[in-house]
Amino acid sequence: MSSPFTRRKFIQANSVALLATQLPAGGAAAETAADPDKLAKAGGAKAVKAKPGRRVRWDDREKQQLGSAVDQASLFYWAGGKPNQQTGLFIERFKQYCPSEHVVTCSSGTAALHIAIAAAGIGPGDEVITTPITDIGTVTGILFQQGVPVFADLGASTYNLDPASVERSITLRTKAIIAVHLTGAPCDMSALQAIAQKHNLVLIEDCAQAWGAQVRGKPVGSFGHVACYSLMDSKHICAGDGGVVASSDKRIGPALLKFSDKGNDRMAPGNAWDKTGVLATNYRMSELQAAFAAVQLQRLEGIASKRAALGRLLIEGIGNLPAVLPPRIAAADRATFWFFYFRLKLDRLKCNRAEFVEALRAEGVSCNAGYIPVPVYKLPYFQQHSFFAGRWPIKELGLTAMDYTKVKCPEAEAILSTGIQMPLHEAMDEALIRESAAAIRKVAKAYTT
């Protein structure tokens, strides 16, 4: 069979290409070289040429550990008064990562938070202060325990709880604070610890997005009374789904297990679930997930340190732009960037956010406008107070006067309406991050007034 692409055509095609590279300046390439500021969306050269590497999130090590679990006689987390093998291994490694006396594996980050809230004794009408920019899993546990989520406002460039707003939100009914380390950036834990101590509040850390993040060298989760982590598939490390809740607090720690396992404390001698007096659902994690997660924990430091370094580099690359507000991470802290989020100062731009995103994408930057569509208090079941079959019993009973239609957190709303989200992960390299920063600088320069 003869090739459709003859030797003569090959020589012709390549000669034309070769000639083109040797032509005097004047073509599109020359124009680009002469005008590096020309936006890719207007025909200029793309700022980003590097591509992210392929993330290898698990491999033979997880397979091998799963294999050892499959060889066991039972895949239940408990084995006669102590954790079963895989759960025990995970707990041991988690304790090395985030030292805590009581560590309980569970089915999700949402479960971890519900367990924490229940173990903290949150009951009907009790108020829990948290952020309006988070996954709904942060607040479902409060609502299911008949507590009242109270939303405080956020720092403009930390996207985390503003301690002053938290303090202003405290009432006689406040029982706890849930600090969410959004995007993997640590909250101001010293300030939140001081507030919790002053007002005798339970401080819960939602570390779902912040595996490996540190405050002054210590992992997030070691500052509050309870730490909650998620092992959902998209997190830094995962088990497909899963969660961990941990505490060294004498009041809360011993109660965690009961609230994860229908009232059972199977580790306690003579456990009798019908005598604990605790109504709780089943949030157990199986040995298969624990086996997988135990290996994932060994990958964590590599993932966290790489993301932390890339994120810092990106922040440096977009600092000092009049129309861009990069995230602010305290010098002594380590953010691990579940994703990267920065804001636009729209009053300094002659484009809107959608146009900025479109221009960035044309430059080769993967990005999206915003994060969650609205602050949590604007969700319909908050606005209608209709959490349980269209009703909210504690409001009907007068146990709370909360009216979510009146809640307003201006900075949180501005963070959502002016922010741009970019993926950032450990398979990226410095070249890609430097080019991404150059793309943001280029687009910002083109549109800054």
Ligand X SMILES: Cc1ncc(COP(=O)(O)O)c(C=O)c1O
Which residue ranges make up the site for ligand X (CB under 6 A)? Answer: 108-110, 134-135, 137-138, 180, 206, 208-209, 230, 232, 243
What SS3 class is residue 60?
helix
Q: Are strands 368-369 and 419-422 parallel, antiparallel or unpaired?
A: antiparallel
Half-sphere exposure of 179 (CA within 13 A, CB side): 35
Q: How far apart are CA 152 and CA 159, in angstroms?
A: 11
For residue 82 the two structure tokens come to 């102590």
Least distance from ligand X to the Cβ atom of residue 338, Å: 7
When the beta carbons of 100 and 183 are compared against ligand X, the nearer one is: 183
Least distance from ligand X to the Cβ atom of residue 390, Å: 24
Least distance from ligand X to the Cβ atom of residue 137, Å: 3
When the beta carbons of 232 and 295 are compared against ligand X, the nearer one is: 232
Type of residue found at 85 = Q
For residue 206 the two structure tokens come to 């939602």
When the beta carbons of 140 and 248 are compared against ligand X, the nearer one is: 140
Rounded-to-10 torsion of CA 139, 389, 375, 338: 50
Q: How far apart are CA 209 and CA 230, in angstroms?
A: 8
When the beta carbons of 138 and 145 are compared against ligand X, the nearer one is: 138
When the beta carbons of 151 and 356 are compared against ligand X, the nearer one is: 151
Least distance from ligand X to the Cβ atom of residue 27, Å: 49
Least distance from ligand X to the Cβ atom of residue 299, Å: 18
When the beta carbons of 180 and 215 are compared against ligand X, the nearer one is: 180
Least distance from ligand X to the Cβ atom of residue 147, Å: 16
Q: Which residue is nearest to ligand X (CB)?
A: 109
When the beta carbons of 180 and 360 are compared against ligand X, the nearer one is: 180
Type of residue found at 245 = V
Alpha-carbon separation of residue 388 from 154, 381, 392, 394, 401 (angstroms)? 28, 9, 6, 10, 17
For residue 426 the two structure tokens come to 């450990």
Least distance from ligand X to the Cβ atom of residue 365, Å: 23
Q: How far apart are CA 351 and CA 44, in angstroms?
A: 18
Shortest CA distance to 142 belongs to which of 411, 409, 392, 413? 392
